[in-house]
Structure 1
Amino acid sequence: MIRSIAAAILAGRRFELKQSRLGLAMVLGGLAAANFTPSAMAASHSQRGQDASACFWFGPYVKDNPGFNVGFPDTGAAYWSANIAMPAGSKIVLRGQYAHARYQSVSAYEANGAALDSLTDYQIAPDRGSRNPFLPGERRTGEKNRSFTVEIRNEAVPASDRASNTLYAKASAGDRQILFFRLYVPDKNRDLTGGVGLPTPELVLADGRRMTGKAACAALNVAAEIVPIPIPTKAQYAALRDRPGAPDGFPAQNPPVFHAFYNPKFRTACLYSLNPGVDCRPATAPARAGGLYPNIDNNYIAAYLSRRYGKVLVFRGKLPTVPTTYNRTPRSSEGQLRYWSICQTESIATTRTTSCLYDEQVPIDSDRNYVIVSSLDSDRPKNATAKCGVGFLSWSAVGDGAGHLDDAYIYVRNLLPSSGFSHANQNTKLPGDEAAVLGDYLPRAEYMSIEEFEKMGCPASRDER
């Protein structure tokens, strides 16, 4: 039963999510997303409302944008989508500026969320006279000479000799294409776009005609709507969550167990299993396949949580090194990862994010060890503060968003590990090897009472190695 439900969810047979018709300019006005100031957002609104990309890109998908907190958005990032149907033989010339940010990419998907192709910042060569600030050692804070051009072709990814600065977006016959533009950690006092606006599209038809602005959007049949996120129906979710014979706290375990992500079907079958020793430990590795419009540069570990085991959940682990960019570091550098974050969310019933901490927001000691507490805001221990060296994640007051107030879902994101870092999520090969592969970088978690954690003092510490 659980596998058939998982397959139905993966196939997206029904969608609970309503599609919003808000335009980009309307959405950006007055929005103050996490880590960004209202003044920066106002500047972004003014810029976006006038340029040729306003009818093309839709979003941003961020936690604090009403209606767009879907697909488990990371609060250290912003995403924009374009839902289009490229005419036969056409191409899109996308012109933009490298953002003042940690990371950016543009990706193409089929309408069902399957990845077609992707280009990450370091893979995009600059225009003549410009430079790519994402390359190690490059100056990243200059205002000029940051331009690039990407060509989006209505063609399949070639087996070899792919063209430079080219995104291949050939969808199945009769299907639409979904594009995503992603940006992580804009520099301090920059807007969501990293201070440069969104890339501007020009449509080139098979006969050579060129179109921009509203004409291009019309020819591309742009759908001004949120991308369809397949989530289970109420009945499907109830069949997963409210299983006869399930132990108290199900689907969480005590202590929490993180599982590497392989594909949506395996994730659902494992996390909602009454026999995780079997369903989460197959003899052969499940296929690696993206979830919902996946960023191929990311990989995840995730666990379900329950307040029935304790009001306070404490995570300890070691933070990989990353290039610290938020405070406008002048030169690009490398780390063990490009980006790390831990996000508390509701569940697959809503795919809504509650709170996240990304790498530069996490208090660490001299050995890069961290302590992070998760609880309801009303249960937050007095010493769960940055001043005491403790990060804090808010637990959703509505639990899983489907009537189970004690539930939560948490995941850890690893973005672009360096070739020399062997402890990234990406290096897991078989379900069950997470502890062996990640080592000290795997979060260890335990439930406590408020009083137990407060007795640990400030700074809070407990050596569990």
Structure 2
Amino acid sequence: MSTSRLRLRRGGWLSLTTITATVLAMPALASAATPTLITPACVWRLETTPSTANVAFPDSGATYWTTPFTVQDGLQVTVSGSYADARYTSLTVYDSNRSPFMTNGVSSSLPDYLTAPDAGSINPWQQTAVPGGHFTVTLSPNAATGETNTVPLAPAGTRSGRTGYLIYRAYLPADGNPSSIPLPTLTFDQDGTSVTPPVCGSTLSSDPPTTTTTAAAGATVSSAADSAGPQFARGSSGTGGLFPNPDNAYLSEKLTPPTGNTVLVIRGKAPRTPQSNDPIPWPSATSDIRYWSLCDNLAIPPLPVVVNTLPDGSLDYGCRADYRTRLDVTGYYTFVVGTEAQRSAIENIPGATFVPFSNAHPTAQHILLFRNLLGGEFEESVQNVPSDNRPASAAAVMKDYYPRSALCSLSTLAAEGPQACLRGS
């Protein structure tokens, strides 16, 4: 399977290089009817998920829709949409360096639970309601604190003609189908001229899903290790041009897959998350964070998540989200990262969740990312860990929720349990 292609909503494959050079660097087309207002020919042209074009640390639970636009003097963009039936959604504006930003103290990112509903509608992340209510968000060059549903169009001082990007994210649609997510309408206004471009193409309900260059990483990967093997730490938060999600925070560790009968064991207490993928009022008294996952990625460009083809032809992606993770009676998870050949033995261990190393690149360095989404209110979340590349700092903040890891023989793990493997970590 190719790992360097993106699929556009109108169909047709383009190389990652072509996408970067054209869709991202030259996104806007002049409207014939409005020569002074530059607008995209259509919106949400790039729909991406981590199933193909596997790049930039994707999470298999997420889908992204991207609209590049041209910053212009006096431009305002109105986003009109319906609340989706999904675990999480957000709107984020990025600058020409593909980074989120603050202008006049206002963040360029607006998560679901902070998005106010239109009159007569209800936000299902603010109070219990069936999804489907409406919202209106404004991208304004003059965004100021205290304004409802207003985010900055571009950083202060951005010259006219620069490129900006609007990304709409959704994690875990309740029906499992990203094409069921209603995409917002975008209206571009400037000096009395208004243009509402159509959505590009139709939904991809029968098309193969696509992957993303916008999966949020942006964290420097820690290579810290001790006698127990690699350990998770939080790196510096440089954005690295990867369109990071401001609502996510990451721990990371890297290693070369062990040989023989050795596996990587990762164990910690699981934070509470919503028990379904339908929206719930947030913050929640019954959930600590909105979503968490562990993903195994290759540390070689284009930084794909591991994907293995199984004997039946299905694909095994190297991500395990909270709802796919087994817990023991005390609420602890045990991830065991090994080869597909070890899978059966690992899955027979009580409480163990198998995560694959790459079949195609068994000697390449791997990067493991432990994600927390919307965890700032939870004291033991990754969001509260200092970005100092020190495992000890992460462990001190997260306590039982810190993912301790160690290399261990599979036979020891099976016979004595994960505690025997983690005694020295």
Shared fold per TM-score greater than 0.5: yes
Structure having the larger proportion of residues in helix:
1
1:418, CA displacement in angstroms? 4.9
Deviation at 1:216, TM superposition (A): 11
Aligned residue for 1:462, secondary structure, equals helix
Q: Superposed, which structure 2 residues align to 1:59-458 within 5 Å?
A: 59-64=46-51, 66-67=52-53, 69-116=54-101, 117-135=108-126, 137-139=127-129, 142=130, 144=132, 146-153=133-140, 155=141, 157-158=143-144, 160-161=145-146, 163-171=147-155, 172-173=158-159, 174-187=161-174, 189-192=175-178, 195-204=180-189, 206-214=190-198, 255-264=229-238, 292-308=242-258, 311-326=262-277, 328=278, 333-334=284-285, 335-347=287-299, 349-354=301-306, 355-384=318-347, 388-399=350-361, 405-419=363-377, 421-429=378-386, 431=388, 432=390, 433-456=393-416
Counterparts of 1:54 and 1:209 in 2: how far apart (Å)?
16
The superposition leaves residues 86-143 of structure 1 with CA deviations (integer Å, 9 ceiling, x where unpaired) of 33212111111111111110101112122121111111111111100012x513xx25
Residues 79, 137 of structure 2: 8 Å contact kept: yes
CA distance in 2 between partners of 1:54 and 1:104 (Å): 25
How far apart, CA to CA, are the structure 2 residues paired with 1:314 and 1:27? 41
1:410 CA displacement: 0.3
Question: Once the two structures are superposed, what CA deviation does each residue of 1:302-344 show, in whole Å capped at 9, x if it has no partner?
Answer: 0002223664111111111112223x58877442111111111
Report the identity percentage: 29
Shift of residue 182, structure 1, vs aligned partner: 0.9
Deviates more, 1:254-263 or 1:178-187: 254-263
Aligned to 2:315: none
Distance 1:331 1:92, change over 3 A: closer
Q: Distance in 1 between matches of 2:115 and 2:78?
A: 13
In the TM superposition, what is the alpha-carbon distance from 1:364 to its structure 2 partner? 0.8
Partner Cα distance (1:299, 1:175) in 2: 28
Matched-pair contact (CA < 8 Å) for 2:236–2:387: no
Q: For the structure 1 residues 384 and 190, does the alpha-carbon distance in structure 2 shift closer, same or farther, using more than 3 Å as the test?
A: closer
- Unaligned 5+ segments in structure 2 are 14-39, 102-107, 202-210, 218-222, 307-317
Stretches of structure 1 lacking an aligned partner (at least 5 in a row) = 1-16, 29-52, 218-224, 232-249, 265-288
Q: 1:226 to 1:55 in 2, by over 3 A?
A: farther
SS of structure 1 residue aligned to 2:172? strand
Tell me the CA shift for residue 75 of structure 1: 1.1
- The amino acid across from 2:149 in the alignment is N
Q: 2:326 and 2:10 mapped to 1: Cα distance? A: 36
3-state SS of the aligned residue for 1:379?
helix
2:11 partner SS: helix
Give me the whole-angstrom Cα distance separating, in 2, the residues matched to 1:396 and 1:430: 28
What is the TM-score when the length of structure 2 is the normalising length? 0.74
Q: How many angstroms apart in 2 are the aligned matches of 1:94 and 1:429?
A: 35
Q: Which residue of 1 aligns with 2:45?
A: 58
> Any idea what the Cα deviations from partners look like across 1:348-388, whole Å, max 9, x if unmatched?
53221121111121111232111111112123252425x83
Check whether the contact 1:151–1:166 (CA below 8 A) recurs between aligned residues.
Answer: yes
Aligned length: 356
Whichever structure has more strand as a proportion of its residues is 2
Q: CA RMSD in A?
A: 3.5
Instruction: Give, in angstroms, the shift of residue 26 of structure 1.
Output: 2.8
